[in-house]
Amino acid sequence: MIALLQLAAALYLASGIAGGFAVALGGAGAGRAALALLGVGVAAHTASFVALHAVEPTPQLTQIPLAVSLMAWMVVLAFLAFARRARLGGLVVAVGPVAFLGSFFAALRTPHAPEADLMGAGSWPHAHVLLASSGLALLAVAAIAGSVFLLENRRLKRKSLHPARRGGGLPSLETLDRVNAVALAVGFPLLSLGVLTGALWLHAARGVLWTGAAHEAWNALAWLIYAVLAAARFAGHQGARDAAVSAVAGFAFLLFAVVGVGLLA
Amino acid sequence: MKILLVGLSHRSAPVELRERFAIDAPEPILAKLVAADEIDEAFLLSTCNRTEALVLTRRPEAARHRLRSLFARELAGEDVSPGAVEKALYEYTDSRAMQHVFRVAASLDSMVVGEPQILGQVKDAYRAAAGAGATGVILGRLLNRAFATAKRVRSETRIAERPLSVARVAVDLARQIFESLEGKRALLVGAGDMGEIALEALRAEGLRELCVANRTPERARALAERFGARASGFDALPALLEAADVVLTSVGGGEPVLTPQMVAAAMHGRGHRPMFVIDIGVPRNVDPAVNEIAAVYLYDIDDLDRVASANAEQRRREVERAEAIVQEEQQRFDGWLAALRAVPTIRHLRARGEAVRQGELERFLRRNNLGPEQREALEALTRAIVNKLLHAPVSRLRAEAETEEGLAYLEAARVLFALDDPGAPGAEADARVDDAEDE
């Protein structure tokens, strides 16, 4: 399982490098190779989950390394689903490295003993992790689209249009903004369901919806921030650039709340 | 056999001369060319930038004279001085002619290097020549290699990627801002020629809804009618601006037509959706501060020109790589042609060997009375000896034919085996080979 995860991480990294070449040099062949590597990487990643399931019928998905691995896997799947509908091939340059970091981190920190909290909580922990990871994955895609939007926006505003830096293969600003909006529109409800199922898990395991633990407070705050950002976005109060900044900043905060606080603890 | 190319192009003749050589129907000319004794295969290419005749000939001087006469007398017409035509004509033979055909198909000899239309034009011309039965094995192969070379150049270099005209640069930039131009609205402010050209290029990308605003509504109406657009005066600018995704300005006069206040108000009204403003006016029509407004991308004529120049420089670098591909393909074709030249020598050599074998065998059989089985065995033995003896020189000739020393090897073989000596043993077989080749 670890070997497959390491293979997936290597393939993701290779796809990011090939994507970098495609963007810097504008080669269509490198772009196709990057997408193909990402596709093979996600297949290896899927195989690692299958192998895990064979060893452990109820995997400890609530453990951070596995949750991060699941999130990286979903980021790639969500990206590939988006890429089928729009010309997003150039985004491999960002998606590949993000997926690499997630899977590499998971490969380094293999899961250990099962958590006592899982006992007697039924399927809530898995529902929580699956929904929250899906939401996080889509918000990660929104953040990636937002980051690339900001770079491209800056380039076009500054008119730094030397051919070598023209960003061949990257999607248009309008496409990046649409990806950001769609990922937020689907990702935020999934994240909300993740938060809800998390509370229900707590209730099933300990009889309370809220224990006051630090990571719960951070997660609730992150959700609240996203709720405000989503409302601003869909009420039409944000332009594309502000939405991109929100997507990047919001995801950074969310990642810290979900992963960073857990690791620090 | 020689490959000969005669023609004129934008490099050698001005447009007023080139236009006299436009050929609408090449078939009759091709038929006439291949009907001539000295021409075996022919191909004609006629585009707005060039007219060229490519032929395969056994008598280069006569073919050269015929082609020059075709240009100077038949195509030019009476009012064009033959001297001017002679001066504009260029002529290439063999390797240089092949290289020229490859360069033309790969768009390296085009007025705008890398433009894609020329390959289609060469293909059309080849179809016409093949349809008229004017091309054969050699020119057919040459042109097919030219198409393959052009494909390699397009896929292995970025020669055609960067737009060079200001209008195409504007389109390229628009595609970096908008997912698609289909369904986008354009506003042309002013009625200058450059604005029209850029608008035409944007419309070719699918931009449909268009409005023309001008100080004098009459001029706006005239232009709007041509583009199937709406026309209005400058008083409607704020409302028009709010609806426009692409704004082109081309107005005479010193004061900016679009101010930051106007554009900011329009952006607020359109929910901050991106707006691409192309200012082609000189002096500039749009206050440069407009570029500071979020989601507004302002490019003036100098910005567009800078991109076009950078693209041109990039293309120039790609040309070197493309030329290397052409060189490589031309050498490969040269090798094939050289190998083709080795075929008669190899045939002669084999025929000579076979004739000597049969002659000696007959002489031996006349003196010795052998049974059928012994004759058969002797036949097989002598054939095996001749084949084995000739195997090494024939293989070497084939291999060396594609190299620079190929001709020297062919010459050496002819001398060593006395292939050109009519008195040599078995020489009577050479006449049969020559006859067969002529047929």
Q: For A123-175, what is each residue's pLDDT tens digit? A: 787 788 888 888 988 999 999 999 999 999 999 998 876 444 444 578 899 99
> Is A152 close to B176, i.e. CB distance below 8 A?
yes
> Is A172 close to B175, i.e. CB distance below 8 A?
yes
CA distance A213 to A58: 26
Q: Is the pLDDT of residue B422 over 80?
A: no
Q: In this structure, is residue B301 part of a structural domain?
A: no
Q: How far is CA B315 from CA A23, B154, B163, B250, B415, in A?
A: 18, 12, 9, 29, 51
Q: What angle do CA A237, B256, B309 make, to 5 degrees?
A: 90
Picking from B161, B271, B307, the nearest residue to A161 by CB comes out as B307
Q: In this structure, is residue B151 part of a structural domain?
A: yes
Tokens of B299: 């490019």
Chain B residues near residue A172 by CB distance under 8 angstroms: 175-179
Q: In this structure, is residue B171 part of a structural domain?
A: yes
Note whether B182 and B71 are same-domain residues. Answer: no
Note whether B196 and B112 are same-domain residues. Answer: no
Note whether B274 and B172 are same-domain residues. Answer: yes
Angle between helices A92-108 and A124-158 (to 10 degrees): 140
- Chain B residue nearest residue A156, CA to CA: B297
Per DSSP, chain B holds a count of helices (H) and strands (E) of 16, 10
**Which structural domain range is residue A165 located in?**
2-264
Q: In this structure, is residue B119 part of a structural domain?
A: yes
Average pLDDT over residues A168-190: 89
Note whether B356 and B416 are same-domain residues. Answer: yes
Q: How far is CA B234 from CA A92, B217, B328, in A?
A: 46, 8, 59
> Is B176 close to A167, i.e. CB distance below 8 A?
yes
- Domain count for chain A: 1
Tokens of A100: 């690499």
Tokens of B304: 């567009």
CB proximity B295 to A under 8 Å: yes
| β strands within B291-436, DSSP E | 296-300
Write a three-state SS string for A32-81.
HHHHHHHHHHHHHHHHHHHHHHHHCCCCCCCCHHHHHHHHHHHHHHHHHH
Note whether B8 and B103 are same-domain residues. Answer: yes
Q: For A194-235, what is each residue's pLDDT tens digit? A: 989 988 888 888 888 888 888 788 888 999 999 998 898 888
pLDDT of res. A121 = 61
Closest CA to A159 of B374, B120, B54, B300: B300
B4 touches B55 (CB < 8 A): yes
The residue out of B91, B121, B156 marking a domain boundary is B156
> Mind telling me how many Å the CA of A138 is from chain B's nearest CA?
21
pLDDT of res. A115 = 52
Chain A residues near residue B177 by CB distance under 8 angstroms: 156, 172-174
Chain A residues near residue B178 by CB distance under 8 angstroms: 172-174
- Domain count for chain B: 3
Q: In this structure, is residue B317 part of a structural domain?
A: no
pLDDT of res. B286 = 92
CA distance B359 to B348: 16
The residue out of B243, B270, B294 marking a domain boundary is B294
Q: Is the pLDDT of residue B64 over 90?
A: yes
pLDDT of res. B52 = 96
CB proximity B276 to A under 8 Å: no
Share of chain B above pLDDT 70, in %: 95
| ipTM of the prediction | 0.79
Closest CA to A170 of A12, A22, A35, A34: A22
Tokens of A176: 């990046």
Note whether B407 and B433 are same-domain residues. Answer: yes
Q: For residue B211, indicate whether it is catalytic.
A: no
Chain B residues near residue A27 by CB distance under 8 angstroms: 158
Share of chain B above pLDDT 90, in %: 40
Q: How far is CA A161 from CA A158, B300, B305, B423, B430, in A?
A: 8, 14, 11, 76, 69
**Which structural domain range is residue B240 located in?**
166-294
Q: Which of B48, B204, B384, B431 is catalytic?
A: B48
